[in-house]
Structure 1
Amino acid sequence: MVQLAPRTAQRLSPARWLSPLKQSPLSLVESLATPHAVDSYLALVNPMLTVRRMRAVVTEVQHPTADSVTLTLKPTRQWKGFEAGQFVQLGVVVDGVRHTRCYSPACSQYRGDGRIVLTIKAHPEGIVSNHLQRHARPGLVLDLGAADGTFTLPQRRPGKVLLVSGGSGITPVLSMLHTLCDEGYTGDVVFLHYAYTANDVPHRDELLALAERHDNVRVVLAYTDQQVGGDLHGFFGKAHLEAVAPWWAGAETFLCGPPGLMRSVRDFYEGAGLAAKLHVEEFAPAPVALPDGEVSGAITFARSGVTAENSGSSLLEQAEAAGLTPEYGCRMGICFSCTAVKKSGCTTNVLTGAVDTDPDREIQLCISVPNGDVALDI
């Protein structure tokens, strides 16, 4: 008789060949689909048919201004909703390359059909924003991330609310306004929006309609380049606040807009000793603050075998300048899409000023600058 070696006997053990049957049906299917995810196969049949990955299909496209696009999206079943003021990551394939960007829904968090509305302004060098503004059509399927962000209304709604926005920063505060109206909020609300001209105000008719239907809501449009029409003209200042919301000091203020407006409002509130009553969301790239002293050293992208002289810019920009294509999203330290492991070296976080000297640490490339030699696992 031939005796099986213990190793072979173990391989034929019923416990081993029965073990896959103990897996969940989904896990079993995924193991059989390796090396590709199940969703990769399902996408060949229907991109909206997913198991794990969340997507959304464009159901409506509008162009509220000459340089923007409003998309209505229907998410897949994995969507858990959002709170007014939060943002989502949108994944878009442009010329065969997948890009991710962060956008804030402009609709109420209580929208009955579960769809979300994004208004996107096309920036001169914006790959994704220009692509969507020019080419988005109903039926386009996009990757969608879960809602995130802390720029939200407090759970206990304040007695008075001041919403201030400028340009494309209108979307998160417009969502707040829609949400408050849907809740039947009865406190005073002033929505103060800054734009170049009347033609540069997305959702203008929508805003005016909300003010018409709700006696406690006042919409104020301030034009910086148009001297007729509108409610105010010129740039933000105390006179504007006193004219439209004389109770501003006792209100909670929510602000989102371009850097100039953000800086003016923040400086004003800090000077008035009311910084705690100002809540802000910034969707502008973080300014790169170079470390003290001369820029020196080299950046080593270990996995790619590429080394480049340190230019002093962010590690994301230096990786791109070296011909690499690391994944990124917001480029301002919000979405954490561009994290990578720092193998060695010293970096500075330009948002917080924190210095990191520990090896084998994940850092955000878009808001990290190198201090001397740095090696990254890219």
Structure 2
Amino acid sequence: MVGLLDLVQTLTTPHPLDRYLELVNPALTARELRAEVTHVSHATPGSVTLTLRASRQWRGHRAGQYVQIGVSINGVRHTRCYSPIDPETKGDRFLQLTVKAHPGGLVSNYLHDNAKPGLVVDLAPAAGVFELPSPRPARVLLISGGSGITPVLSMLRTLDAEGFAGDVTFLHYARDFAAVPHRAELTAIANRRPNFRVEYRYPVEPGTIVNGEPSKGSGFFDRAELDQVAPWFADAQTFVCGPGPMMRAVKAIFEAEGHGDRVHSEEFTLTTVPTDPSEATGEVTYSGSGVTADNTGATILEQAEAAGLTPEYGCRMGICFSCTATKLSGCTRNVRTGELDAEPDKQIQICVNAPVGDVDIAI
């Protein structure tokens, strides 16, 4: 079958076979992985949940992993990374994504406002190392904030589907009661699993009535909160995803207790080492396009876009590795770690590397 596809691919050059198939039906594909939206829900204000039916190339995902979605907006293809909220699967071609429409978020707002059944999107295989280990730990603590709920929700649903017998606490921080997606399902899981504990925290004074019940905790993670919801945390594996300050607070407490190796995290916001644009020097040469521009101090991806180029990218946070390009010469600086790299002819991620002086990049 593969040999036949290779033959057809050769006969249809200069375009790949999938370019012709999509003229007949955008969901048809011989090699490329795509998905069709089959259902759209706006149950939570500011968010949209999409049910997708993937093409036959889909191989499922592990709980906590992410996928890359590609959509065409005004004729330009844009890609972003989102975590499926489904239980871990291998053969099921359906998956669900809950997307928070962030202010200024091009793809998230497009999906929130325009996604309808029949929309076909590009889909990349599931990836990422933030996942439930196998075999499962004896105890699991899940902590999330805001849109970081999606990968840990997949973990919780997986443990529920497997009939996990150990202790599980799911602690979620949200702006308010209405901002918690899939709350009815979370409640149902907690009700049928006596060993599962589901807790919510809001930024209000303890005891404030929220949806008819007094709030618990301060709405900010601290050691007292940890002792209250998971007194067995030292024996657990902890998975955390959400805003940077919350994640740093969790890690700091666990490290202070000597349990830093038990914390696993996924970041959906890029924490960068500060840089002063006034200190940027040199020029950036984009050899593949014949363009040269002054170095502004921003990442190579941002500078390339400002120069009118359209390099491929995905998450813009250094997670998905879809924006790699060859640095031919010069020194770059990783904006997450501050690490410098002057090795020539090296593949780098242009979304998290900035030029230091003159740099030649094959874009």
| Coarse TM-score class (shorter-chain normalised) | over 0.9
State whether structure 2 residue 318 is matched by structure 1 residue 330.
no
Provide the rounded CA distance (Å) in 2 between the counterparts of 1:111 and 1:62: 24
CA–CA distance in structure 2, aligned partners of residues 169 and 156 of structure 1? 24
SS of structure 2 residue aligned to 1:303: coil
Tell me the CA shift for residue 96 of structure 1: 0.6
Matched, 1:265 2:257: no
Matches within 5 A, 1:96-107: 96-107=75-86
> By how many angstroms is 1:243 displaced?
1.3
Give the counterpart of 1:191 among 145, 153, 170. 170
**Which residue of structure 1 lines up, in the alignment, with residue 209 of structure 2?**
228
Matched, 1:343 2:347: no
The aligned residue for residue 189 of structure 2 is: 210
Change (3 A) 1:338 1:288: farther
Relative to structure 1, is the Cα distance of residues 294 and 29 closer, same or farther in structure 2, using a 3 angstrom cutoff?
A: same
The alignment's TM-score, normalised by the length of structure 1, stands at 0.90
**1:41 partnered with 2:20:** yes
The more displaced of 220-229 and 294-303 is 220-229
C-alpha separation between the residues in 1 aligned to 2:70 and 2:295? Answer: 30
Q: CA deviation at 1:291?
A: 9.1
Offset of residue 222 of structure 1: 0.6
Secondary structure of the 2:184 match is helix
Q: 1:132 aligns with which of 111, 115, 119?
A: 111
Deviation at 1:25, TM superposition (A): 1.9
Q: Aligned pair 1:148/2:127, yes or no? A: yes
Q: Is the 8 A contact 1:67 1:122 kept in 2?
A: yes
Moved more, 83-92 or 352-361: 352-361
Q: RMSD value over aligned CA atoms?
A: 1.9
How much does 1:288 deviate? Answer: 4.3
The answer for the alignment partner of 2:37 in structure 1 is 58
1:367 aligns with 2:352: yes
Residue type of the alignment partner of 1:324: L
Residue 278 of structure 1 is matched in structure 2 by 263
- Tell me the number of residue pairs that the alignment of Structure 1 and Structure 2 aligns: 356
Gaps of 5+ in 2: none
Q: Aligned runs of 1:115-126 on 2, under 5 Å?
A: 115-126=94-105
Partner deviation per Cα, 1:325-360 (whole Å, 9 max, x = no partner): 211110010111111111211112233444322222
| Deviation (angstroms), 1:124 | 0.8
Query: Which 10-residue stretch deviates more, 274-283 or 289-298?
Result: 289-298
Partner amino acid for 1:188? D
Distance (Å, rounded) in 2 between the aligned partners of 1:152 and 1:25 = 37
- Distance verdict in 2 for CA 1:95–1:199, change over 3 Å: same
Secondary structure at 1:220 match in 2: strand
Q: Higher Cα Rg: structure 1 or 2?
A: 1
Q: C-alpha distance in 1, partners of 2:29/2:203?
A: 46
Q: Which residue is 2:56 aligned to?
A: 77
Which amino acid is the alignment partner of residue 206 of structure 1? E
- Amino acid aligned to 1:155: S
Offset, 1:200: 0.7
- Which residue of the partner structure matches residue 272 of structure 2? 287
Match of 1:4 in 2: none
Aligned pair in 2 of structure 1 residues 114, 29: CA closer, same or farther (>3 Å)? Answer: closer
**Aligned amino acid, residue 194 of structure 1:** Y
Whether 1:238 and 2:238 are equivalent positions in the alignment is: no
Amino acid at match of 2:318: G
**How far 1:65 sits from its partner (Å)?**
2.0
Contact 1:338 1:365 in 2 (8 A): yes
TM-score normalised to structure 2 length: 0.94
Contact 1:349-1:368 at 8 Å conserved across structures: yes
CA distance in 2, matches of 1:292, 1:301: 20
- Code of the residue aligned with 1:269 in structure 2: it is F
Distance in 2 (alpha carbons) for counterparts of 1:151 and 1:222: 23
Aligned partner (choices 171, 174, 181) of residue 150 of structure 2: 171
Check whether the contact 1:286–1:333 (CA below 8 A) recurs between aligned residues: no
Letter in 2 for 1:187: G
Please list the CA deviations of residues 4-24 of structure 1 after superposition, one character each: whole Å capped at 9, or x if unmatched: xxxxxxxxxxxxxxxxxxx93
Unaligned runs of 5+ residues in structure 1 are 1-22
Following the alignment from structure 1 to structure 2, what is the Cα–Cα distance between the partners of residues 110 and 343? 41
CA–CA distance in structure 1, aligned partners of residues 273 and 16 of structure 2: 38
- Displacement after TM superposition at 1:133 (Å): 0.4
Secondary structure of the residue aligned to 2:288 is helix
- Contact 1:221 1:232 (C-alpha < 8 Å) held by counterparts: no
Structure 1: how far apart are the matches of 2:282 and 2:294?
A: 6
User: What is the one-letter code of the residue matched to 2:221?
Assistant: F
